[in-house]
Amino acid sequence: MSDLRLMKGNEALAEAAIRAGCRGYFGYPITPQSEILEYLALEGRSRGMIVLQAESEVASINMVYGGAGVGARVMTSSSSPGISLMQEGISYIAGAELPCLIVNVSRGGPGLGTIQPSQGDYFQAVKGGGHGDYRLLVLAPSSVQEMADFVFDAFDLADKYRSPVMILADGALGQMMERVSFREYDPAAHLVAKPWATTGKPVTRERNIITSLHIEPEKMEQINNRLQEKYRQMALHETRCEEFQTADAEYLIVAYGLAARIAQGAVEMARAQGIRAGLLRPVTLFPYPTDAIRALADRVRGVLVVEMNAGQMIEDVRLALEGRVPVRFYGRTGGIIPSPDEVLGALTKMVNEDVLHIEEVS
Amino acid sequence: MEHQTMQPDSPVLECVYSRPGTLTETRFHYCPGCGHGVVHRVLMEAVEELGIQGETIGVAPVGCSVFAYNYLDIDMQEAAHGRASAVATAVKRLLPDRYVFSYQGDGDLAAIGTAETIHTVNRGENILMLFINNAIYGMTGGQMAPTTLIGMKTTTSPLGRTVEASGFPLKITEMVATLPGAYYVSRNSVHTPGAVRHLKKAILKSFQYQKEKRGTCFIEVVSNCPSGWKMTPLEANRWMAEHMFPLYPPGEIKVPK
């Protein structure tokens, strides 16, 4: 393919944003994602994008609010502490139903934490993060190729649902280089009409107001109901996951993002040792592939959740399984990336426990 | 009481004062004597006179004027507390041929939004920033603001603001005037007809400068808060002139050379 390039995840994501018709980028430098701002400062600007280095993440996300409010495709990116600063603005964006892309190339925490990769922001991304009853549609790439691909998907989904979409990556995906090709994508063919946008009120229509403020309880509840209905529609139509060797799997690993790629290696190693392992990888973290996990509940003897955190997504796996299958966890924190060997070790331990348990019973 | 009947030859009364077409029919929720209503009206008179209703986008704050969009008949966005100028920045950058203004009170612009205020002006964003300074948080019930005067009693400075506890009143308008991005900086009030006329001129000028892409225009309106100050509207205006003007003197602070 002529368009095949070797790029960092951050750069691939930035290039995809330009190609996806993103007209405004507002951000603030923070490791390990500053390449996005750097790439766009040159490439984005030279190709007509408004690229503004703001005074803070707080300003950035509110610029995204303003830009999305005029109907433009806009985005910001940051890493964990910066995303924490944005939570108020994200809540407003969700409340005002503004489509935009928010990228979190996450790092280890809590606090200033580390600049090394982590999946410690799962709760924040998936459970709301800011105040109020809202959700983000969250896409979790696991390769540089997906760092690019998901940008196109994210903007389309944001427009489709008039909702903020987050790409939740991590520092490794942002920094590592892989080959990537960019899909054929004509933004003009994807852009939807935004009659609600504040572009200046012609005499032919009523004024448009972008707001998340609804003082009347009945009206506020109505908005909440509409948001919840939107999230139900997302669950029906946008839930995505990948399965690897699950058809005959006795033991299932559930992992997302970079952890899923590592787990895939562990599954292959386990298979070579005669353990019938499989992998389910949630691609959307919200909506969560609850049904796909539940469907495997009757077929597997144990589930191992692998995350680069202290155990966050495991709660959603347990909710999906509702106690039908034993669930174990393996995770590393502090910015440490688990090796396939470690994951295999955890898997083998679970298998042995299970075998022991069977022997005890019989 | 004596009732008079109209004479058939009475002259038809001429309408000399009416609601500008750029304001909606919604009645202001503001307290009697509050300056917001006058500022809204003057702003929208300017928009009407310039014929830019269809090209103007406003950004409302959090504070007493949070519902400004209920009154101003133009496209508007409601910003988070303190962030109006950041929101307005993006609106203007993406729609550079539109007229964009932010409208904020003292808590919004000079406390929680100080960083956004300074940096928006420092970038010289081609917007009008309207700043209503009544030295108090009106909507939340009269708490101390960054611009509250020394000795002034509020619900959070019940014995009067002291420097020891709360530092000095922030003269943020003078601060932003030092920034090269600020093209026109003016301090006004709306307590006399003359002051109202001056404000309108300042707003008209600001839209003209915005059209010419000169940089940020920043207009402070020293205003009152009869409810928060616990005064009648008349007392509040007198008190404002007597106590606020010495620290926040009306006048042109930075004018184009």
- State pLDDT tens for residues B10-19: 778 899 989 9
Mean pLDDT within B96-120: 98
Task: Tell whether B71 is within 8 A of chain A (Cβ).
Answer: no
Give me the pLDDT at residue B10, please. Answer: 75
Q: What is the CA radius of gyration of chain A?
A: 21
* CATH 3.40.50.970 domain residues, chain A: 5-238
How many CB atoms sit inside 10 A of residue A54's CB?
A: 25
- Whether residue B78 and residue A209 make contact (CB cut-off 8 A), yes or no, is yes
Q: Which residues of chain A have pLDDT under 70?
A: 1-2, 360-362
Residues 50 through 109 of chain A touching chain B, CB cutoff 8 Å: 50, 52, 54-56, 58-59, 62-67, 69-70, 72, 74, 88-89, 92, 96
Give me the pLDDT at residue A354, please. Answer: 82
- Whether residue B76 and residue A207 make contact (CB cut-off 8 A), yes or no, is yes
Fold designation for A241-361: Rossmann fold (3.40.50)
Q: Do the Cβ atoms of B59 and B92 come closer than 8 Å?
A: no
Mean pLDDT within B49-73: 97
* Whole-complex ipTM: 0.96
pLDDT band at B22 (very low <50, low <70, confident <90, very high): very high
- Whether residue B116 and residue A67 make contact (CB cut-off 8 A), yes or no, is no
Q: Do the Cβ atoms of A185 and A19 come closer than 8 Å?
A: yes
Residue B1: pLDDT over 80:
no
Task: Tell whether A209 is within 8 A of chain B (Cβ).
Answer: yes
Task: Tell whether A207 is within 8 A of chain B (Cβ).
Answer: yes
Pairs of residues, one from chain A and one from chain B, whose beta carbons lie less than 8 Å apart: 123
Give me the pLDDT at residue A1, please. Answer: 46
Mean pLDDT within B82-96: 98
Which chain A residues touch B98 with a CB distance below 8 Å?
Answer: 199-200
How far is A211 from B72, CA to CA, in rounded Å?
A: 14
Which chain A residues touch B66 with a CB distance below 8 Å?
Answer: 213
Domains and CATH numbers, chain B: 36-254 (3.40.50.970)
How far is A19 from A183, CA to CA, in rounded Å?
A: 9
How far is B57 from B47, CA to CA, in rounded Å?
A: 11
* CATH 3.40.50.920 domain residues, chain A: 241-361
Q: Which candidate from B54, B89, B118 shows the least CB-CB separation from A201?
A: B54
How far is A12 from A19, CA to CA, in rounded Å?
A: 11
Can you list the positions of beta strands (E) in chain A? 5-8, 24-27, 50-53, 74-78, 100-106, 137-139, 164-170, 177-180, 209-210, 241-244, 251-254, 277-282, 284-286, 302-307, 327-331
How many CB atoms sit inside 10 A of residue A79's CB?
A: 29
Which chain A residues touch B91 with a CB distance below 8 Å?
Answer: 66-67, 69-70, 198
How far is B219 from B253, CA to CA, in rounded Å?
A: 10
Residue B102: pLDDT over 50:
yes
Q: How far is A25 from chain B (nearest CA, A)?
A: 10
Which chain A residues touch B139 with a CB distance below 8 Å?
Answer: none
- Whether residue B77 and residue A211 make contact (CB cut-off 8 A), yes or no, is yes
Fold designation for A5-238: Rossmann fold (3.40.50)
pLDDT in tens, B153-195: 999 999 999 999 999 999 999 999 999 999 999 999 999 999 9
Q: Which candidate from A89, A200, A209 shows the least CB-CB separation from B69?
A: A209
Which chain A residues touch B89 with a CB distance below 8 Å?
Answer: 52, 59, 63, 66
CA distances from B188 to A342, B71, B134, B201, B223 (A): 69, 22, 12, 10, 9
- Whether residue B78 and residue A212 make contact (CB cut-off 8 A), yes or no, is yes
Give me the pLDDT at residue B158, please. Answer: 97
Which of these, A147, A122, A136, lies nearest to A64 by C-alpha position?
A136
Give me the pLDDT at residue A357, please. Answer: 76
Which chain A residues touch B79 with a CB distance below 8 Å?
Answer: 62, 65-66
Which chain B residues touch A207 with a CB distance below 8 Å?
Answer: 69, 73-76
- Phi first, then psi: give them for residue A18, nearest 5 degrees: -60, -45
Which chain A residues touch B74 with a CB distance below 8 Å?
Answer: 200-201, 207
Residue B4: pLDDT over 80:
no
Helix (H), strand (E) at residue B103? strand B99-105
- Whether residue B119 and residue A208 make contact (CB cut-off 8 A), yes or no, is no
Residues 86 through 145 of chain B touching chain A, CB cutoff 8 Å: 86-91, 93-95, 98, 115-116, 118-119
